[in-house]
Amino acid sequence: MNQITMHHDAQPFDVSPVIAGAPNSEIVTLANLGKTYSSSNGPITALKNINLGIQQSEIFGIIGRSGAGKSTLIRTINRLERLTTGTVKISGIDIGALEGRALVDIRRKIGMIFQHFNLLSSKTVFENLALPLRASGVKPDLIRERAANLLELVGLSDKARTYPSRLSGGQKQRVGIARALMLNPDIILCDEATSALDPESTVSILALLKDINKKMGITIILITHEMSVIRNICDRVAVIEGGEIVESGPVWKVFGLPQSDAAKALLRSPGDASGDDNCTPHYEGTDKTLLKLTYSGESGEFPKLELITRALQGDVELVHAAIDVVQGRPQGTLFLATSSNAVQVQDFLKREGLFSKAEVLPNV
Amino acid sequence: MSEYMLAALWTAFVDTLVMVSISSVIVWFAGIGLALILVTTTAGAIFQALTLNRLLGGVINAFRAVPFIILLVALIPLTRFLTGTTIGIWAAIVPITISATPFFARVAEVSLREVSSGVIEAAEALGCERKDVIFRVLLPEAMPGIIGGFTITVVAMIGASAMAGAIGAGGLGDLAIRYGYQRYDTVVMFSVIAILIVLVGGIQLVGDRIVAYLRAR
Q: Say if CB A320 and CB A278 are below 8 A apart.
A: yes
The predicted model scores a pTM of 0.84
| pLDDT above 60: residue A6 | no
More confident residue, A136 or B108: B108
Point out the domain boundary residue: A215, A244, A266: A266
Q: Say if CB A196 and CB A229 are below 8 A apart.
A: no
Hey, are the CB atoms on B141 and A122 less than 8 Å from each other? Answer: yes
Are both A240 and A276 inside the same structural domain?
A: no
**Which structural domain range is residue B211 located in?**
3-215
B202's CB contacts (< 8 A; 6+ apart) are none
Query: Which of B119, B124, B125 is opposite residue A120, by nearest beta carbon?
Result: B119
The CATH number for B54's domain is 1.10.3720.10
Q: Which residue of B has its CA nearest to A111?
A: B126
Rounded to an integer, what distance in angstroms lies between the CA atom of residue B118 and that of residue A121? 12
Task: Kindly tell me the burial class for residue A200, based on how many C-beta atoms sit within 10 Å of its own C-beta (0-12, 13-18, 19 or more).
Answer: exposed
Q: Does residue A119 fall inside a structural domain?
A: no
pLDDT at A364: 57
A160's CB contacts (< 8 A; 6+ apart) are A124, A125, A126, A147, A148, A151
**Which structural domain range is residue A73 located in?**
8-109+185-266
The CATH number for A342's domain is 3.30.70.260
| Separation in Å, CA of A123 to nearest CA in chain B | 8
pLDDT at A271: 54
A169-181 helix and A199-216 helix, angle to the nearest 10 degrees: 20
Rounded to an integer, what distance in angstroms lies between the CA atom of residue A120 and that of residue B106? 23
* ipTM of the predicted assembly exceeds 0.90: no
Point out the domain boundary residue: A266, A286, A313: A266
Mark which residues 94-123 of B lie under 8 Å from A by CB: 116, 118-119, 121-123
Are both A208 and A105 inside the same structural domain?
A: yes
Q: Which residues of chain B have pLDDT under 50?
A: none
Q: Does residue A254 fall inside a structural domain?
A: yes
Q: Within 10 A of A191 (CB to CB), how many other CB atoms are there?
A: 24
Task: Kindly tell me the burial class for residue A92, based on how many C-beta atoms sit within 10 Å of its own C-beta (0-12, 13-18, 19 or more).
Answer: exposed
Are both A201 and A67 inside the same structural domain?
A: yes
More confident residue, A149 or A275: A149
How many folded domains does chain A comprise?
2
Are both A87 and A37 inside the same structural domain?
A: yes
Please, which pLDDT band fits residue A7 given cuts at 50, 70 and 90?
Answer: very low
Are both A299 and A210 inside the same structural domain?
A: no
Q: Does residue A351 fall inside a structural domain?
A: yes
The CATH number for A88's domain is 3.40.50.300
| pLDDT above 90: residue A118 | yes
The two counts, helices (H) then strands (E), for chain B are: 10, 0
Are both A240 and A299 inside the same structural domain?
A: no
Query: Which of A163, A165, A183 is opposite residue B126, by nearest beta carbon?
Result: A183
A79 interface with B at CB cutoff 8 Å: no
Are both A323 and A232 inside the same structural domain?
A: no
| Separation in Å, CA of A119 to nearest CA in chain B | 6
B208 interface with A at CB cutoff 8 Å: no
Rounded to an integer, what distance in angstroms lies between the CA atom of residue B111 and that of residue B39? 10
Q: Which residues pair with A112 in a beta bridge?
A: A189
pLDDT at A18: 37
B126's CB contacts (< 8 A; 6+ apart) are A107, A108, A111, A112, A131, A132, A135, A179, A180, A182, A183
